[in-house]
Structure 1
Amino acid sequence: MIISKALKHISITTSIIMAASTVAFAADAGQATGSAVNVRKEANAGADVVGKIETNSEYTVMGKSGDWYQISFDGESVFVSSDYFKLTKTDASVTGSNVNVRKTASALGDTLGKLKEGEQVVVTGQSGDWYQISYNGESAYVSKEYISGELLTKVTGVASVAAENAGQNIENTYGVVSSSTGVKLRKEASLISIVLTVLPYGAEVNIDRVGQEWVRVVTDDGQKGYVSAEFLSIRKGERTTRSNASSKGAEVVSYAKQFIGTPYVWGGTNLTKGVDCSGFVYSVMKNYGITLNRSSYSMVSNGIEVSKSELQAGDLVFFNSGGNSGICHVGIYMGDGNYIHSTDGAAYGVTITALNSGYSANTYVTGRRVLR
């Protein structure tokens, strides 16, 4: 009885030691890199050979101990040297939120879907800065920056499929910021590089060069820099030209002018019965399929910033009450130095005011472009 308990104790202790020295994995697999590769009873070259494995046959990987893989062979747990064995798939987890899954290993690759933070994936290869994964039964690609796993550095390389995009004509492509919180435009393609500005959600940029992790872009004001490929949606075709945007802006202004004289009503959004400043802008733009934040204070985060000298018809203009106070008023720029807005001042309703004189000139803060 005492001997039986002692043997049981030794067995349990041995299991604990093996578990501590071998990293275990759930659904990993690999192949021999040569023919008739020895598999051994223990993880050392002097251990007994218990069989041989052939190339192109896949074996379940149970763990890794030093330079040896622990695999399942004929129903038994054996070891094979990592010099003659390659990992063909391994478990991993997603470390970012809403991570793009792409058809090819390139920022220009079509987006097949998105992965949530913490979601488990099976990595089947790697190509440059991208991991190949199994996605809905097909091969797809995810940036290495957003994938974490114990054996990722050991997984087999795959033929680069980014090559088909490497020479793609980027003259017919442009980028749109896809992150709801915007994206940092950096001086160099590095996370520690100087931040030049923050491009807001929906901002459109011209593409100068596409890399696997970074895209070099040019903003409308000529500023060049790099943004993370994960937060930029690559679009094919031509951007809306300035003249087209201006034409649409003129149409918006023409529509807005028909409501001159509508009374000011705090919180109002009815263009004929009563509107406040943001309610007027909100309702006019809604007529053109553009949904804005409801208050002037939050509306200033919509669209992209434009300098006062670059204002076009249809751009939004924002004001404060003087000094360093917050945004409290908004209108629509008409062109020729005028803007249309709903005011609770002397005019008390929708009216046209000169932008560059008097109270408007003293309280002007910024302009935003929401038309595309």
Structure 2
Amino acid sequence: MGMRKAIRQVCVTALFVALGTVTALAADAGQASGTNVNVRAEASTGANVLGKINKGTEYTILDKTSGWFKISYNGSNGFVSDDYFEVTKADATIDGSSVNCREKASTSANSLGKFADGDYVCVTGQNDSWYRISYKGGSAYVSKDYVDGDYVKYTAKIANETAAEAKKSVYGVVTADGGLKLRKEASMNSVVLTVLPKGTEVNVDRVGQEWIRVITDGGQKGYVSAEFLSVREGVRTTRSTGSGNGAAVVAYGKQFIGTPYVWGGTNLKTGVDCSGFVYSVYKNFGITLNRNSAAMASNGVEVSKSNLQAGDLVFFNSGGNSSISHVGIYCGDGTYVHSTDGKAYGVTVTSLSSSYSANTYVTARRVLR
């Protein structure tokens, strides 16, 4: 056993005794990585073979020398080449204060609790940046930056997929009746960027115990109180259809920027009017809308300007009367893509805060549910 590990075990054991608890460090353990792996009397390929071991049976690890694990085998000591042996349990301690223990191997995953400096953990696996640990009868994850142990680096590799999946599948729903303030920083004194209405869904970027960092569908990043955001996993209830979502609709529509304006046109390559553009883009996703902008305003459900999401339809009164005469597709970031016969001419992207847009804006509808 290494000197540092021996000292750590003595100190931790003494602490548990002093506290009057029965908690103890679990022994470091491992198993063969294959079948019929030799156990030798010495750390040498020329040493006598004491027996053979197979994957699935754990053995206590006593020490690690260059290229070999020393294990407890049939009441005596044996040596196994580290090429054919993997660590399944490794004693370790936390090096840092208030270290998050997460549900998945991602900084955006739920925090199950926090460890204090020196807390004991049992590592059972690893990927590029995270150690998997035993936690309350199951598994959890801690960043490698905060874990110290003699054998942790030898633990088995696990699939490095949880970080991407967690970020992709975790979202939040606003539960506050009066809406939820999106703040620039994780503080009640921070600047309020906007207020998210009840029911708004946002992408979850990072989860803390009091604050959650989120990204709106418009791309705005900020912090909300964890108390009023329900964090969920799975497919979002809005902006999803069998063939696409809001972001996909916008990306498809933007491919045709520059297509000329043609009154009555529906050909995205040769010419479209405003409603013809929107109609043809959505038709690509299997959604049939009413053909002209005024009639199109009856499709879907009404949505407030403050709650716009990518893919929503935005309507304008460009004729100076009370009727709707123009339509576009909201892109996020306060812009929309549309076909215009005005100064920009053809399919283009315009800011909703431009003088024309602000003065003629009427309503918005959500057709992706």
Instruction: Pick the TM interval, shorter chain.
Output: 0.3 to 0.5
TM-score of the pair, normalised by structure 1: 0.43
